[in-house]
Structure 1
Amino acid sequence: MILLFLVLRDFGLASPKQKILAFLIVGIIGASISVYTYQQNQQNQQEIALQRAFLRGETLLCKGIKVNNQTFNLVSGTLSFLGKKQTPMKDVLVDLDSCQTLQKDPLIQPQ
């Protein structure tokens, strides 16, 4: 902030209104960066959770396709699933972002 004040003074922006405007702009930019970083962090955590579930052998639902480690391989470079050879899903490519875990309803008890 002190550096910003010195730069503003060098450019002749020394009036209180100009200082307030400059600080507001910097504050908005800082808040925007914080929100973006938070959203990216949430997305990364979701992707990591999906990868772990897949590697544990859980079935994921991706665009109506059931994805598990018996019929798909995880391609970590592209964060996608590629169907294994000699399975009905051969050469099917599914993006990890389109997936969600299949969760059983905790209110339904087995009989």
Structure 2
Amino acid sequence: MGYLFWFGIVALVFALMHYFTELNGKQKGMISLVVTLVIAAAIAYNIQSDRERAKVSAIELKYERGETLVCQGIEVNSTTFGYSVGTQSFVGNRGTKHYQQIINARECQ
């Protein structure tokens, strides 16, 4: 739904340029292309962010279920690492060989 809103904005900008400016066709086309590319880049960024968020959520869920994850070649589970929700990372527990080691959840499989 949000993408339709941005498509409407591009159409509105193009209509305003077409009827209320003295720009030639090439200038209007370039402006429309730049605006379209900026919006397309923003949409692509949002899609990538959604994928990353879903991946981290799946990793967090596996960790909470007690499953062992592999992160940077290290086995991560609740006995060796704690999970920091704010930074979305695993921190090595005291008394383990990974004490104070920090691993970003995005680097897990």
Give 1:18's aligned amino acid: Q
Q: Percent identity?
A: 31
Could you say what the CA RMSD is over the residues aligned between the two structures, in angstroms? 2.0
Query: What pairs up with 1:1-111 in 2 under 5 angstroms?
Result: 1-6=11-16, 12-13=22-23, 15-100=24-109
Within 2, Cα distance between the matches of 1:2 and 1:64? 51
Give 2:64's aligned amino acid: L
* Partner SS, residue 58 of structure 1: coil
Residue 69 (structure 1) shift: 0.8
Give 1:86's aligned amino acid: G
Q: Which 5+ residue runs of structure 2 have no aligned equivalent?
A: 1-10
Closer/same/farther in 2, CA of residues 3 and 28 from structure 1, 3 Å limit: closer
Deviates further, 37-46 or 88-97 = 88-97
**Number of matched pairs:** 99
Give 1:46's aligned amino acid: K
Residue 49 (structure 1) shift: 0.6
Which structure features the higher share of helix residues? 2
Q: Which 5+ residue runs of structure 1 have no aligned equivalent?
A: 101-111
Give 1:69's aligned amino acid: S
Residue 6 (structure 1) shift: 3.1
Within 1, Cα distance between the matches of 2:30 and 2:100? 55
